[in-house]
Amino acid sequence: MFKDLFQILIFPGLTFLVIFSLFAEYFDRKLYARLQNRVGPPWFQPFADILKLLAKEELIPCEANPRMFKLAPLFAFTAAITAFLYIPLWQIKTLFSFNGDVLVVLYLLTIPTLSFFIGGWYSTSLFARIGSVRSMTQLFAYEVPLFMGILSSALLANTWNLKEIALFYSAHPWFWLFNLPGFCIALIALLGKLEKVPFDIPEAETEIVAGSFTEYSGKLFAFLKLTLDIEMVVGAALLAAVFFPFGLQMNPFAGFVLFLLKIIFIVFLLSLLRTVMARLRIDQMIDFCWKYLVPLAFVQILLNLAVKGVILK
């Protein structure tokens, strides 16, 4: 009982996750800045931002629906944290595990987007509503390649359980190399989920101010910001668990550090991508996802089926 609570609230749950996410945000921001030839923020900047926001008054627009407006960030925050508990962090163990948990993680990661939509919609601001509609439109574009990319790896392992995926790949080292195209697809789709350049269309600053977040302030905004950071870490962790399942035989501590390094590596790739690209338009984004990512994901699935049929037989 106490062990469970400790795991959920302190380590590797809430507290650790929040701290690590803020660190990941720092890493992302610093790297982004250095790549742009700027100095970048000091290490405590994300923490200071959150603390400042938590101390600020929160304003709720009179026309907004106060209950939905307040609940949306909490939904998003909770869902993102819950998703983390199913991901194997060191060796092959996860806190909770059952058959099909990879799907649960994916769906839990969809909830923040839905919450942003609800929060933006109920804040009644025009900019927020346009942003909300855009984030939903975008959801339908990136979700399919993301699912296909991640599930192709599960398909090869013949299980929908993250723990067993890890088991399979430690029994068949180097098989993860087959999934590299799937990794690229999932990484690009993850950019869409995290609403980062080139897919930061729902919060395009120069068009619609901050999209769904326009009316948020104070604590609620702090939760939204935290959610975005946690989403980034959880998304990166999911990708790391599914696509880089190596080094699982090491001792727990080394394995854990390696896993964090994998997450940081994926965050690094995300920052790199957002540095070198411009924001696409929503129609271009949907075009790109359906015309290139989805067919590529099909190819990956076919490849994995072939591998399964020929090599693993």
Partner 1 sequence: MHNSEEFKIPIGPQHPALKEPESFSVALKGEKILGIEIRLGYNHRGIEKAAEERTYIQDIYLIERICGICSHSHSTAFVQAVEEIAGLELPKRALYIRTLIGELERVHSHLLWLGVAGHEIGFDTLLMYTWRDREIVMDILALLTGNRVNYGINTIGGVRRDISKEQAEEVLKAMDTLEERTKYYIELGLSETTLVKRLSGVGVLTYDDALRLDAVGPTARASGVKRDVRKDDPYAAYGEMDFKVITEKNCDVYGRTLVRLKELMEAYQIIRQCIKNLPEGPVTIKAPRKIPAGEALSRYEAPRGEDVHYVKANGTEKPERVKVRAPTLANVQAVKQMLKDRFLADMPIVIAAIDPCFSCTDRLVSLRQVDSKDKKTMNWQTLREYSIDWHRKQGIDFKKLNQKLKTNV
Query: For 285, phi and psi rounded to 5 degrees?
Result: -65, -45
The residues, any chain, with a CB within 8 Å of residue 27's CB and separated by 6 or more, are 264, 267, 268, 271
Which of 12/119 has CB closer to partner 1? Answer: 119
> Judged by CB under 8 A, does residue 238 bind partner 1?
no
Please choose, out of 49-57, 180-188, 241-249, 278-286, the segment that lies near partner 1 by the rule CB under 8 A. Answer: 278-286
Considering only 278, 309, 310, 313, the residue that binds partner 1 (CB under 8 A) is 278
Q: Cα separation of 70 and 196, whole Å?
A: 24
> Judged by CB under 8 A, does residue 10 bind partner 1?
no
Q: Cα separation of 222 and 244, whole Å?
A: 32
Please choose, out of 89-97, 237-245, 281-289, 303-311, the segment that lies near partner 1 by the rule CB under 8 A. Answer: 281-289
Please choose, out of 16-24, 67-75, 138-146, 201-209, the segment that lies near partner 1 by the rule CB under 8 A. Answer: 201-209
**One-letter amino acid for residue 18 of the chain:** V
> Judged by CB under 8 A, does residue 277 bind partner 1?
yes
| Binding-site string for partner 1 from residue 156 to residue 195, where x marks contact by CB under 8 A and - marks none | ----------------------------------------
- Integer-rounded Cα radius of gyration of the chain: 19
Q: Cα separation of 86 and 242, whole Å?
A: 12
282-311: contacts with partner 1 (CB under 8 A): 282-284
Please choose, out of 2-10, 86-94, 197-205, 227-235, the segment that lies near partner 1 by the rule CB under 8 A. Answer: 197-205
Token pair, residue 102, equals 């990879």
Q: Cα separation of 154 and 182, whole Å?
A: 11
Q: Cα separation of 146 and 293, whole Å?
A: 9
24-63: contacts with partner 1 (CB under 8 A): 35-38
Which of 164/215 has CB closer to partner 1? Answer: 215
Say if CB 172 and CB 287 are below 8 A apart. Answer: no
Considering only 276, 309, 310, 313, the residue that binds partner 1 (CB under 8 A) is 276
Considering only 104, 207, 246, 308, the residue that binds partner 1 (CB under 8 A) is 207
What are the distances in angstroms from CA 19 to CA 49, 84, 161, 228?
Answer: 13, 14, 27, 13
Look at residue 200 and give its three-state secondary structure.
coil
Q: Provide, rounded to whole angstroms, the least separation between the CB of residue 59 and partner 1.
A: 17
Picking from 135, 143, 157, 77, the residue whose alpha carbon sits closest to that of residue 106 is 143
Q: Provide, rounded to whole angstroms, the least separation between the CB of residue 187 and partner 1.
A: 16
Say if CB 86 and CB 95 are below 8 A apart. Answer: yes
| Binding-site string for partner 1 from residue 108 to residue 147, where x marks contact by CB under 8 A and - marks none | ------------------xx-xx---x-------------
Binding footprint of partner 1, residue count (CB under 8 A): 29
Binding site for partner 1 (CB under 8 A): 35-38, 126-127, 129-130, 134, 197-198, 200-201, 204-209, 275-284
